[in-house]
Structure formats: structure tokens, C-alpha cells
Amino acid sequence: MHSDIAGGPIGEVVVGLTDVRKEYSDSVALDGVSLEIRAGEAVAVMGPSGSGKSTLLNLVAGLDRPTSGSVAVHGEDLGRLSETGLALFRRRRIGMVFQFFNLLDDLPALDNVALAAQLTGTKAPQARRRALELLDELGVAGRRDTYPAQLSGGERQRVAVARALVNRPALLLADEPTGALDSRSGEQVMDLLLDLNQIGQTLLLVTHDQRLATRCASRVVEVVDGRIARESAVARS
């Protein structure tokens, strides 16, 4: 694996959630959650469906704002940032991988990846070169001109991971990255995430797959009904 994926020296706090509460019009998704994630860690959030895992991830990504409490990433209080500020924060600091890939259907695989680099001001030729490197490392370089609709689920998720990594994010967020994949593709994505963490990539991972959690994560946080029910360190298998 390459060695240029960013990650601070282990120990520095990357994510800090303090007494975070998130309400929707008809429900409370998170209720008094505090959590700290340090650089180099791989944290898996687990819990039953509807317990608030995705909500937690979205708050960390600055895709949503808490009703109360604060979210800080790399020492920056997201609550102080405007929408535009959040967008700029996302493009530089965060890489995201979703259960259902969320690639842009209008663009072929390579452009999906390169676009994210262009957003941070990288010139188009460099962006494409970097995107191609990543696709190559993830084994989907041969599909670079294919549109997402024609890719298999595993291929789509690898393109999505490449897109998430293209700006060397401080934090990689993954929301059930294997949830929509067959077991073999899921296995490969798991290996990929593990490799990334081992070379220093900080990782926040939502899953309800016990195997994924124990294999990739150094710490497991269990969420039930919007509260952290249990935290445990993992001796990786």
C-alpha cells in the first residue's frame, strides 16, 4: 500500500463530540453522545437499525448540525462554520463511503474520482493522474471509462473508496460500506479498510456486521436508542 495517506501521529484528537443531541421533527436520533477519536484509530459504531449511527456520522461529516452539543474535527468547531465553510471543510478533511455508493451517475468512474480532487483546486490533468493511480491500486483501473450504472456493486464501492481517498483526508467515514455487497466483495472492501488503517488512516466506520467490526476496528462503540451503550477496545483478529 502507498504511504502517503494522511494521518496524524497517534494520540492527537481528531474528532470530539460533546454532549451531542439531535432531534428530528418526530423523533430523537441522538441523545447526549460524547465521543473522542484519536488519530490513527479505527472506530466502529454498531447498533440496531434506527439507533442513530448514520446520524452520528453525518454530524461528524458536517452534513447535518446537532440540535445541541458540539462537534469538533481537527480542533475546528463545526458549529461555527457556515454552510460554505462546511463544504470547504468536507472537501479537504473528510472522505466518505456510503452503503449505496452514491456515485454521480452522469460521470464515468475516473471522472467521479477526479472531480473530488478538482474541487480542492487540483488541475484537471493532475487530478486525473491521481485518480487513475488510486483506481489502479484498488484494482478497478480497467473500468475507468465505465459509468456507475454498468459497474457491479463491488466495483462501485471501490470507485467510491478511491473518491473518498483522493484528497488524502484526515478522516475517512464509512456508513455500512459492505451492507450492499455480496460476501466476497464485502471481504475485499474490509481488507482495503484494514490496510488503510494500518498505514495510519483514521477511520470512523458504521456497521452492524460483527465480523467487519472486529476485523477492522481498534475500538467498538455501541449505540442504542441514540445513546452510547458500551465502548470496548478490540484485540484485532
Partner 1 sequence: MNAVWRVARAAVRRRMLQTVVIGVVVWVSAATVVMALGLLASSAAPFDRAHDEQRGAHLAAVFDSSAVDRLAGTSGRAGVEAAAGPYALAGVEAADGGGFGVAGELTAVGRADPAGAVDRVTVWSGRWVGGPGEIVLNLPPGAPVAPGRVVDLAGGGSVTVVGLAFSVSQTADAWVTPEQATAWGSTASQMLYRLVDHATAADISRGEASVSTGLPLLGTQSYLAVKQRFSQEAGVYVPFLTVFGALGLAVAVLSVANLVSGAVVAGYRHIGVLKALGYTPNQVMAVYLVMVTAPAVVGTALGVCTGDLVGGPLVRDAVEGFGVADTGVPWWVDLAVLVGMPALVAVVALLPALRARRQPAAAAISAGSRPGARRAPRVQRALSGTRLPRSVSLGLGVPFARPARSALTAAAVVLGVATVTLAVGVTLSVTAFRDAANPTRANQVDVMAAVPGGTPADGPDDPLSELAPRLGDAQDEAVLRAAPGVLGVVASSQQLVRLVGGNETHVVRFYRGDASAVRPRVWAGAWPARGGEVAVSAKFLTQTGLALGDTTTLEQRGKRVPVRIVGVVLENVTGSVLGTWETLESLLPGSRATAYQVTLDPDADRDAFARAVAAGDPGIRVTPPRGGTSSQAVVIISTATLLTLLLGGIAALGVFNTVVLNTRERRRDLGVLKSVGMTPRQVTSMVVTSMAGLGLVGGLIGLPLGMVVHRVVVHAAAPINSPDLLLSVVPDLLLSVYDAPTLVLLPLAGVGIAVLGALVPARRAARMTIAAALRSE
Ligand X SMILES: Nc1ncnc2c1ncn2[C@@H]1O[C@H](COP(=O)(O)OP(=O)(O)O)[C@@H](O)[C@H]1O
Which lies closer to ligand X via its Cβ, residue 27 or residue 68? 27
Give the list of residues 6+ apart from residue 150 with CB closer than 8 angstroms, or none: none
Give the list of residues 6+ apart from residue 135 with CB closer than 8 angstroms, or none: 109, 110, 113, 141, 143, 144, 158, 159, 162
Q: How far is the CB of 200 from partner 1 (least distance, A)?
A: 22
Strand partners, 36: 16
Closest to 178 measured CA to CA, from 202, 199, 160: 160
Q: How far is the CB of 153 from Mg ion (least distance, A)?
A: 17
Within 17-82, where are the H helices?
A: 53-60
Residues in region 42-61 near Mg ion by CB under 5 A: 54
- Contact residue for partner 1 among 11, 25, 80, 105 (CB under 8 A): 105
Choices 37-45, 94-102, 202-210, 218-226 (CB under 8 A): range interacting with partner 1: 94-102
Closest to 73 measured CA to CA, from 12, 162, 117: 12
Strand partners, 20: 33
Taking CB under 6 A as the rule, does residue 29 contact ligand X? yes
Closest to 62 measured CA to CA, from 32, 95, 104: 95
Taking CB under 8 A as the rule, does residue 26 contact partner 1? no
Question: What is the x/- site pattern for ligand X, positions 55-94, by CB under 6 A?
Answer: x---------------------------------------
Interface with ligand X by CB under 6 A: which residues? 24, 27, 29, 47, 49-55
Interface with partner 1 by CB under 8 A: which residues? 54-55, 58, 61, 63-64, 83-84, 87-92, 94, 96, 98, 100-107, 111, 115-116, 118-120, 124, 149, 163, 175
